Each structure stands twice: as C-alpha cells, then as structure tokens.
Amino acid sequence: MAQETSTDVIIIGAGPVGLFAVFQLGLVRLKAHVVDILDKPGGQCAELYPEKPIYDIPGIPVCTGQELTESLLAQIAPFEPVFHFGEMAASLGKTPDGRWRLTTDAGTVLTAPVLVVAAGGGSFVPKRPPSPEIEAYEGTSVFYAVRRMEEFRGRNIVIAGGGDSALDWTVTLAPLAETLTLVHRRPEFRAAPDMVGKMRALEAEGRIKFEIGQPAVLKGSDGVLEAVQIKRPDGSVLDIAADRLLPFFGLTMKLGPIADFGLNLNENLVPVDTAKFETDTDTVFAIGDINTYPGKLKLILSGFHEAALMAQAAHRYIHPDTVLRFQYMTSSSELQRLLKVA
C-alpha cells in the first residue's frame, strides 16, 4: 500500500486562490499540501495570461499574471506549503478515523481532516477549430495561449475568435507582429466594447486586418504553417499567409475526477454557503472559480476573500477547543512571528 502523508489541509489547485488559501491557513497555524495537474503554480494566471496586465488586485495598480503568481509564492513562503505539481487529484475516500484520503494519478496519498477544492474550472482544455490537420501544427505554429510574447515578434499571425482573449491579444500583439489578421465568423464581438474599439482603431490605421470567416484548412508541412484558409459566410474561401495561428474559441472546462468526489454540483460548479465557503459536505470547502453562490463574481479578489473565511472555519474543525482571537497583522507580533518578519 502507498505511503500516506498526513497534513492539516489538502488543497486541490495551485491557482491564485489555492495559493492565497495557503497564506490564510498559515495565519491560523494550519499546514497545507497543494496538488495541481499543471507543472507550475498560478492556474489561469500563469497558464493562460502570464504576460497580461491585471488591474483589479487591491493595492496593486498593475501586475502581470506571472508577477501575481510570484508575489503570492513569496507571500506564502514562510508557511512552507508542500506542492505536488503535475499530479491530478484522482480519487477521494476516507480513512478509518474519518479523515479525507486524496489519491493522485501519480500515486501520492494525502490525508487530512479538511479538504479545500480550489480547482477553478477544472483542467482547462482549449476548444479546437474544426480543421482536421490542426494537431500536426499544435505547439509549433498553432498556440492556444501566449506564454512569451517575444515568440510572436515579426510573425505573420492569424488570431481567430471574437471574445476577450481574441481581442486582447489582437491589440497586445499588433505592435510586435509583422502582419496580424483577426478572423471572426461575424462582425459582432463578445469582447469588452473598449477592446473592440481599440481593435477597430488599429484596423482603421491599417495596422491589422479583420476578416469575417472561420479557419477551415491549414496549409504548410512538417508542423510549419504557411497559410490559413478561411471560409467566409457566403462559402467563398480566402488564403491568409501566416506562420502563427492563435485560435481563441474558449475553453472547455473539464471538471475531471472531482465530478466523482460525491460533492453536490450545479452545472459543474460547487454550491457553497457564504459564511464559510463550505460545501454540502462537512469539512470540504470550495473557493475561487469552482464555487457558486448568489452574486458570485469569478474574480481573483472574490477568491481571496473566500479563502480568508474558509481558513477560520477550517481552524474550528481542526482545533475545536481553541478560540481564534481576531488580530490585525499590523499590530500582532504573534502573526508577524508566523510570517518571520518580527
């Protein structure tokens, strides 16, 4: 039988909310192990938009997704979380003494009295354009996320889609690209009107092109793209010379094994109460994009708040006889000692 590692709290997901949960749990002296399928921390921030600026983190006028991740890692370092990257939380059971036993697909077995699900939308899988040969170009000419903007400098880029990601990257990559063509199946966009306005201004200046249609055929060889053939609504086709294609057709959120953990689900989200962010199952909490409640906003700051309340409730379960005293970090030398700043 695999060796079990015991901890106070198991966190599924090392996205921004899972990371901040480590901090809040640390303040109430609870240790955490964090499991993530990805090979690195940061969730959507690191995987989908590491170089994009975020403007709505309180007290930080602007930071990129990667910078936020690095700041969170620095903030939680004093609490020495144990990360299990590249491992999927695969099955959930109970120990004979009533603790949670989580097993990953790599065979790691963790046990703890409290489980925190911070799994975002689950493992995110980009939706592919319906071009049969697309797989041959993925990772060489076709990308579903921009990890390093420099890789797109001087390229002939086609961006496909009409949502926020397509419009954001059109505006962001236009100054770097040799040529950039945005392709969308209709002239209306789902993206924020401000971004649509910026894209239209670039088009009017001749710095980008906009074509109505859908990528249909990819032309090239050995994973090297030479042109994207688009099909227009009237059935005609147009070849656009391109060595990079960025399809942004949204993400299929695959909840994966968490769907079989026996939690109450509402359209793949986990309903929680807003006093503790606990699920219908005692000692199982859900925070961040994975949860749902009246008025929920899928924002990083909402997840941070949820993590703070979750940690208080987790402490009550684990140390029922200890009363938590509310303290400000600015004036509590006890909390400052925990952070190793006093």
Ligand X SMILES: Cc1cc2nc3c(=O)[nH]c(=O)nc-3n(C[C@H](O)[C@H](O)[C@H](O)COP(=O)(O)OP(=O)(O)OC[C@H]3O[C@@H](n4cnc5c(N)ncnc54)[C@H](O)[C@@H]3O)c2cc1C
The DSSP call for residue 14 is: -
Residue 161 binds ligand X (CB under 6 A): no
Residue 89 binds ligand X (CB under 6 A): yes
- 203, 209 contact by CB (below 8 A): yes
Residue 162 binds ligand X (CB under 6 A): no
Contact with ligand X (CB under 6 A): which of 23, 49, 79, 285?
Answer: 49
Contact with ligand X (CB under 6 A): which of 123, 156, 181, 279?
Answer: 123
- 227, 247 contact by CB (below 8 A): no
Give me the least distance between CB of 316 and ligand X, in Å please. 23
Residue 215 binds ligand X (CB under 6 A): no
Contact with ligand X (CB under 6 A): which of 27, 32, 54, 284?
Answer: 54
229-261 as b/e: b if 16+ CB within 10 A: ebeeeeeeebebebbbbbbbbebebebbbbeeb
Distance, CA of 319 to CA of 313 (rounded, Å): 10
Tokens of 204: 């009017």
Residue 166 binds ligand X (CB under 6 A): no
Please count the residues of this chain forming the interface with ligand X, following the rule CB under 6 A. Answer: 37
Number of residue whose CB is nearest ligand X: 120
The DSSP call for residue 39 is: S
Give me the least distance between CB of 117 and ligand X, in Å please. 8
Residue 171 binds ligand X (CB under 6 A): no
Q: Which is nearer to ligand X, 105 or 178 (CB)?
A: 105
Phi-psi region of 17 (alpha: psi -120 to 50; beta: other; left: phi over 0): alpha
Residue 246 binds ligand X (CB under 6 A): no
Q: Which is nearer to ligand X, 20 or 243 (CB)?
A: 20
Instruction: Please identify which residue in the block is written with the tokens 């938590």.
Output: 324
Q: Which is nearer to ligand X, 110 or 240 (CB)?
A: 110
Tokens of 96: 């004979």
Of 111, 213, 202, the residue nearest 160 (C-alpha): 213
x/- map, 279-298, ligand X, by CB under 6 A: ---------xx--------x
Q: Which is nearer to ligand X, 101 or 136 (CB)?
A: 101
Residue 56 binds ligand X (CB under 6 A): yes
Residue 126 binds ligand X (CB under 6 A): no
**Which residues within the stretch 9-48 sit at the binding site for ligand X (CB under 6 A)?**
12-18, 35-38, 43-45, 48
List of residues 6+ apart from 201 with CB closer than 8 A: none
**Which residues within the stretch 250-269 sit at the binding site for ligand X (CB under 6 A)?**
256-258
Contact with ligand X (CB under 6 A): which of 50, 113, 129, 303?
Answer: 303
100-119 as b/e: b if 16+ CB within 10 A: bbbbbeeebbbbbbbbbbbb
Residue 180 binds ligand X (CB under 6 A): no
Tokens of 7: 């901890």
Q: How many CA atoms lie within 13 A of 23 on its CB side?
A: 22
Give the residues lining the site for ligand X (CB under 6 A).
12-18, 35-38, 43-45, 48-49, 54, 56, 88-89, 118-123, 165, 256-258, 288-289, 298-301, 303
